[in-house]
Every structure is written in structure tokens, then in C-alpha cells.
Structure 1
Amino acid sequence: MNHNTPLSPRPLRHLADGPRRVLTAAQLRAHGVSAAEADERCRPGGSWQQFLPGVYLLHPGPPTSEERLHAVLMYAARESVPHTAPGVPVQPTAGEPHRPVYAEALITGLAALTLHGFRAAPPLPSLERIDVLVPRLRRVRSAGPARIVRTAALPAPETVTGLPVAPVPRALADAVAELTDGDAVRRLLTEAVRGGYCEPASVVRELTEARLLSRAHVVDAVNSLLAEGRALAETRLYRMVREYGLPEPVWNVDLRLPGGPHLGGVDAYWPERAVAVELDTRAPRPGDRPEDEAGWSEYTRKREHLERLGITVVHITPRRLRDTMDQQATVIRTALMAAADRDPAAYVVVLPR
């Protein structure tokens, strides 16, 4: 027996009958399949097909949605295959190929939103192209169903059905970049907020970085998004007061000094305790310039002015109200209880807003 004879690969049937029938050229080589043999099997009428450059579908029929997603990731990701001794093909194990590792590639755009569960996003089979997010300097181009989207900094992936997927705000920005239908954009942004996927500020931040706020239909959708986000936060604030047994405040009022200047509006106010709650829903609006901080400075001045008058101002972000409502209720209750130990606040006039 010649001990230099390489081990024979297992019959190729074990690949085509595996749990996922998509492999790269490098993975096939690791299994002992030469490029010539792969090309032979991809001839017209053959049992395989080349789905993307360097990516093979190990059956002749149309790919499933799962196969398409894995194929575009395999095409776009930085290649990684097991190391073996020269001439020795990879022998599949129980853990392979169930755990693919896709380095520097994330599903994004509409496909990512569909995977996240968005009802306003189209079903995967209807998508002609699947967006894949890669680092800016990667040398890979769009091909077939894979559309390459580049970014200076790849966000941390979220795993959905075993696939690396871009976070919702980034996926939204990449989807909106390709949409010209204002109603479609508005539906996606609205669902992001109503469905609790993310806060408006994070979406606006991604749209700003993508330079999409120069488009009229995106601006209209963002204005609706901000209004939607505030309305939802206000509803949660009402529910928190009632569910956690807090005293009923006066809602959405303006404060001013008697015969003096306007002090600003607050979302809830307990006049007898001089405690105010303000929802911190600040987000850059379309047309805002990064260097223009007048609105932000006014927000801080109002708070400082009220506190100098002896009014305790509790600021709550929509995310905290959503994720830690009990803690926010405790903060407000503590402020109300501490009112008895403070010096009396200045008298202010409370008006409907």
C-alpha cells in the first residue's frame, strides 16, 4: 500500500444531500472537489449550478430563500475554510456545515427588515436583490442577486435565524436609500417605532449619516416618524402613571411666571409638589445643521431655569420608558416624596399647552 496516496473524499452525494446545499469554490476544494469537476457538474443539464461567482448551488432547481441568503453572504464574506493537510479532503462532521461563519458581511436593507419581522417589508422570495453590508475597503462587487453596500464601520451584527443581520436602524437606512415610494418609506419607519424595534432618534441618526434627508419623500416620512414617536411615548407615560399608582398630574402644560416670561412646556406637572416630567424626544430634524445647536441649548436652558425656581424636572427618554417603566415610575415617586423636604418653589402659572 502506498502511504503517500491521499485519502479519498467521501462520495459527493453527502454534500448535495446535506442540510444546506450551498458551498463556495474554496469549501468544495476543501472537500476534495476540483474546479474542473465543479464546472463539469454545472454544465447545462448538470446536477449543480454556479449561483454567484465562486458560489455553487448543489442542485439544479431554483434556490430557496434560505439558500439565497447564505449564498450572498458566502459571496460577500471574507473567505474562511478549515485547514487540512495537503491532499487530505475535509471529512464532514456532525457540526459542519451547520455553523457557517461569515466574516465582515451582514444582511441589510429590505431583506434584513423582513428577517427582523417587519410586516411592511416584502417577503424574501419577491426580492430580486439582497443587500449585503461590508467594510468600505473590501474588494467585492455587486453580482447577481447580491448588492454590495459599503460602510466605514460595520455595526455589530444581530443574529436572526442563524444569519448575521444589520441592526434595524442601519437596515432601515439601507432600505430607504433604494426606495422612491414615500408611502413605502413611511410604512417602514412607522412600523419601526410602533413595533418597538428602535427609537426615532436612532433612525434619524442613520438617515442623516447616509445623507438621505435631502430627499423630499424621506423628509416627509421622518416628520411623521418623529410625531409617531412622541405620541407613543406620551401614551406610555399616561400608562405608567396609572399602572404604578402615581398621583394624577396635569398633562401637557405651559409654565410661566406671573406677569413674566414663558418658562416652557412640560409633559406632566404636579403643581402642589413642583415636580415636572419632560419626555426627552430630541432628534435632529430634516434641515438641521450639525453646527446649529440652538434648539439643544434652549432645551438645557429651560431645565436649568425651572430648577433655579425650585421645580424638580425629571427627564425620561422614550427608550427608558419602554424598557424600564418601573424604574422611571420609582424616580418620579421619589421626586414627589422629596418635595416635602425642599424649600417651597416659586409660584408659576400653569396653562394648557
Structure 2
Amino acid sequence: MNNTPLSPHSHPLHRLADLRGRVRTTAQLRGLGVTQAETSEQCRPGGPWQQILPGVYLLHPGAATPQERLQAVLLYAGRSHDAAGVPAQPGADKPHGRAPDAVITGLAALALHGFASAPSLLSLDHVDVLVPRLRRLRSTGCARVLRTPALPVPVHIAGLPVAPVPRALADAVAGLADASAVRRLLTEAVRAGHAEPSAVVRELSRARLLNRPHVVGAVDSLLAEGRALAEDLLLRMVEEHGLPDPVWNVDLRLPGGPHLGGLDAYWPEHAVAVELDTRGPRHDEDALGSEYARKREALERLGITVVHITPRKLRESLEQQAAILRTALMASADREPAAYVVVLPR
């Protein structure tokens, strides 16, 4: 019979010191052989562990780091571990792996996305986390639970599942009453290229936030900011790619006839126009879409080629958009002459 005593380092409590990550759930600790009684003993006042959220433990004394707090919130909201009982830390889910069952959103997500106008992770009182609507889970401690019919496809940042910027903005704005804070966040989203204005407005509309006066004002600024940036990119495209100079921001009319519509750029000698599509998906989106279509059809009946360009296309493929426009300008020589129209400043 072998009476050799077991090494003290063979105990699960000692093995935990060698694990990566210092945040664990009750189930994960149990899977590692740590009983509930041992967990309670470690969490006694002055002990080496602490309970940071119900069923979630920080395996060291002192304050949690921002990363640990985010991990704790995800573990509380998701409680994910694999069938073998081996801990699966938040972030183990990759874009092509199993979908996460909780996603960081709101101001914490914006901080992770790098928003300078979002509070730092250290200063946040709580972390917003999205869970499926049917989950029976309450907000508690630093975890604020937000239910949703369907989780968004997350972006993985520092190994954590994070809501895309438009969804994170909508969830953040829903909890903000400060008009200037809302305006700063929405403006940064566009200026820094984090998201398309239309995608942001779509999420705000889906969250039924467009009826709040301070949000409406911020959205107007957002769309104006998006248009200004798109106009700058359009000017840059013409200059950098050697396109002929157009007349900028004009209205077209038939001689003595009706107004045909406004255009961002127009080449009269080629009868080619550019219209920036910076629509935001508000309640009158269908009406706006019909107006765009009617204007385009009316101009093309007169022999004017209309090139629609979105801000996203300008930002992501400026050279390609320049090539499309150059092709339209060159093709004008092969078309029938366009009807005469009056060009007026807009």
C-alpha cells in the first residue's frame, strides 16, 4: 500500500493559481473539483477570493480590473461552460465558432470600440449586457441586463463579444438624457468612421428613440455631419482622380417649366449628375425613396445620366467610384444630346 502523502499542490485550490483568467463561476469551480463549501471559505471576510456577481467569483482580493469586470458580467449573463466542465472564458467564442449567449453593449461597448467621447471602462457604474428575451435574469451589481428578441452578431474585441457600433449606440442613447452627450457620441460615430449614419439611425428607429426631442436634434446633426463628410470626399475624388470640374450643388429646371431637383455635382457638357444618397431610415423612408426614384426617372428621360453614390462607397472605394463616374462621362459622347435644362445654384 502506498502511503505517500499527496502533494499540497494537487488540491484544486492550488491548481487554480496556474489557470489563465481569475474570474470563475460556481459551475466552473465545481468542474475543477472545488466544492461550494471551499468556495465560501475562500470568500470569507479578508479571504483571498470575493464574489463579484451572483455565482461569479474573483479569485484574488482587491478591485477587479475592467477586463475582469467585463468577463464577470458575461459569465453572469451567459453562464457558459463546455460539457466536460472545463471553464470556457468569455471570448472563447470566435466569429466562426459557437455563438455567444450574451453580448456587451451600451457605453462599455463603445469604450471597447475606441470612442473617445464614451466614459472609460473604469468610470462606468455598470456594464450593459444583451441576453435573449426569454432568459430569466435580473440586473444586479455591475451587470445591467438588456433583453432582446435576437442577439446581434458580435464584434470580438480583446476576446470579448461586443455589439456592433450602431446597436451599442442605440442601447447607450436609450439610457442617456443629456443631449450634449448623445450628440457627441453620434457625431464621433460618423467623424471617426465607426458607422454609417443610415445604420445608426436605423437602430435608433428600431429602438423607438426618434421621438425623443434630444435624440432628434442629435440625429439631425449626425445626418448633417455625414453629408458634409461625403461632400468633402466627393470633392477629393474629383481632384485626386483628374475628373473634369463640375458645377457643385445645383438645382435643375426646364426652361419656363418645373423644378427637376437638386444635385450635388453636375457636368452640363456631358449631361452627367452625381447625387449623394445620405438618406436616414426615418418613418418617411418610403416617401423619400419614391422621391429619389421619381427625380432620377425624370432626369434620365431628358437624357441626363444620374450616378447615385453613398458615403460608404466614397469612403471604402473612392477609386472605384471615380472609375464609374469617368465611364459615365466618357459614354456621354455616344448618347443622344440631352434636353436643355437651366442650371441654378442651390
2:67 corresponding residue in structure 1: 66
2:291 corresponding residue in structure 1: 298
Amino acid at match of 1:312: T
Structure 1 residue 198, shift from structure 2 partner: 0.8
1:12 aligned counterpart, secondary structure: helix
2:337 corresponding residue in structure 1: 344
Paired residues, number: 336
**CA distance 1:28–1:78, shift in 2 (3 Å):** closer
Q: Does 1:319 align with 2:316?
A: no
1:246 aligned counterpart, secondary structure: coil
Q: Does 1:309 align with 2:294?
A: no
Amino acid at match of 2:168: A
Structure 1 residue 11, shift from structure 2 partner: 4.3
**CA distance 1:224–1:97, shift in 2 (3 Å):** closer
CA contact (8 A) 1:256 1:263 kept: yes
Distance 2:340 2:26 in 1: 77
**CA distance 1:232–1:121, shift in 2 (3 Å):** same
1:267 aligned counterpart, secondary structure: strand
Structure 1 residue 350, shift from structure 2 partner: 0.5
Pick from 186, 196, 200 the counterpart of residue 197 of structure 2.
200
**CA distance 1:64–1:126, shift in 2 (3 Å):** same
2:28 corresponding residue in structure 1: 27
Distance 2:103 2:275 in 1: 37
Instruction: Give the share of equivalent positions with the same residue, in percent.
Output: 69
1:47 corresponding residue in structure 2: 48
Distance 1:194 1:228 in 2: 8
2:184 aligned counterpart, secondary structure: helix
Structure 1 residue 45, shift from structure 2 partner: 1.4
Distance 2:311 2:250 in 1: 19
Pairing of 1:1-353 with structure 2 (within 5 A): 10-16=11-17, 18-83=19-84, 100-101=92-93, 103-285=100-282, 288-289=283-284, 293-353=286-346
CA contact (8 A) 1:189 1:225 kept: yes
Structure 1 residue 78, shift from structure 2 partner: 4.5
CA contact (8 A) 1:19 1:98 kept: no
1:346 aligned counterpart, secondary structure: coil
1:218 aligned counterpart, secondary structure: helix
Amino acid at match of 2:289: W
Unaligned runs of 5+ in 2: 3-8, 94-98
Distance 1:71 1:9 in 2: 27
CA contact (8 A) 1:27 1:81 kept: no
**CA distance 1:78–1:60, shift in 2 (3 Å):** closer
Unaligned runs of 5+ in 1: 3-7, 85-89
For 1:204-238, what per-residue CA distance to the aligned partner results, in whole angstroms no more than 9, with x for missing partners?
Answer: 11011111111111111011101111011001100
Distance 1:98 1:309 in 2: 59
TM-score, normalization: structure 2? Answer: 0.93
Amino acid at match of 1:27: Q
Structure 1 residue 137, shift from structure 2 partner: 1.2
Structure 1 residue 345, shift from structure 2 partner: 0.5
Distance 2:122 2:332 in 1: 60
CA contact (8 A) 1:253 1:268 kept: yes
CA contact (8 A) 1:173 1:210 kept: yes
CA contact (8 A) 2:73 2:129 kept: yes
Amino acid at match of 1:331: I
Distance 1:97 1:215 in 2: 39
For 1:179-222, what per-residue CA distance to the aligned partner results, in whole angstroms no more than 9, with x for missing partners?
Answer: 00000000000000000011111111101111111111111101
CA contact (8 A) 2:237 2:322 kept: yes
CA contact (8 A) 1:78 1:103 kept: no
For 1:305-325, what per-residue CA distance to the aligned partner results, in whole angstroms no more than 9, with x for missing partners?
Answer: 000000000000111111111
2:274 aligned counterpart, secondary structure: strand
For 1:282-305, what per-residue CA distance to the aligned partner results, in whole angstroms no more than 9, with x for missing partners?
Answer: 1134xx356xx3332111100000
